[in-house]
Amino acid sequence: MREPSDFAPLLKRREKTRKLLVVFPVMGCLLLVPMCTTHKEEKDPEASSENGFSHANSAGIVLKWKADTLEFLHAKVSAPTTGWVAVGFHPTDEMKDANIIIGYVKDGDVYVTDEFGVGKYSHLPDTLLGGEDNVTNRAGAETVGRTEISFTIPLDSGDPYDRPLAVGKSYMVMLAYGPDDADDFQTRHERRTHLNVKL
């Protein structure tokens, strides 16, 4: 019969093995956590200038903008769709409080509406809320599966459903477009994105 002291080396070896069995899985998890949880944020695209318009591209949507004075902002939005395209200026939470301009081209005619983000995921025309449609210089075209609208808005219309903007300041801007042939203002977006732009 063995003495208790004979088991000491075995017990020590078993304890070492147990520690290694615990340490290796823990180290493995620590190594895998960065791979699983690290999320590479997409940087906002660099804005460049062309014909007086600054422009940026995100998710295939191109936004061009120019403030010709301290009063008006001229903008163009284009996307790879034959449906609607939209831009929303200065939201506070998703769509909420954004000045949203949506437009589409149908049979050569251009339709553009001035809307306001009444909730995180909803918007209504300014005119239905008691405000005004402050969009001017509406224009647009549909070419080879791509739609572009252009328009002018006041930087500060005084309308409670248009958020004031100022030249030289940076703002969050939402961009989105609808599915092909979604020639309306209600169909859910097919793609949306956002970026920061400096006016």
What is the reported pTM? 0.75
Could you list the residue range(s) of the whole structural domain that residue 147 is in?
48-198
54 and 33: one domain?
A: no
Residue 53 CA to residue 63 CA, distance in Å, equals 9
**Within this chain, do residues 62 and 31 fall inside the same structural domain, yes or no?**
no
Question: 3-state SS string over 129-162?
Answer: HCCCCCCEEEEEEEECCEEEEEEEEECCCCCCCC
User: Do 120 and 188 lie in a common domain?
Assistant: yes
pLDDT in the model for residue 12: 56
Is residue 63 domain-resident? yes
Same domain? 32 vs 60: no
Q: How many domains does the chain have?
A: 2
| pLDDT 10s digits, 62-84 | 999 999 888 999 999 999 999 99
The verdict on residue 42 lying in a domain is no
Q: Verify that 111 and 31 share a domain, yes or no.
A: no
Q: Assess whether 88 and 119 both reside in one domain.
A: yes
pLDDT of residue 18: 52
Q: What is the mean pLDDT of each run of 10 residues along the chain (199 residues)?
A: 53 53 41 33 52 92 92 97 97 96 97 97 96 98 97 97 95 97 92 94
- Is residue 81 within 8 Å of residue 103, measured between CB atoms? no
Q: Are strands 191-198 and 61-67 parallel, antiparallel or unpaired?
A: unpaired
25 and 117, same structural domain? no
Based on the fold, state whether residues 123 and 156 are members of the same structural domain. yes
Do 25 and 76 belong to one domain? no
Distance CA 95, CA 35 (A): 32
Q: Is 52 part of any domain?
A: yes
- Is residue 43 in a domain? no
Tell me the one-letter amino acid at 153.
I
**In this predicted structure, what is the pLDDT of residue 69?**
83
55 and 139 assigned to the same domain: yes
Asked if residue 86 and residue 17 are part of one domain, the reply reads no
Residues with Cβ within 8 Å of residue 184, at least 6 apart in sequence: 84, 104, 178
Residues 165-178 have pLDDT tens digits of 999 999 999 999 99
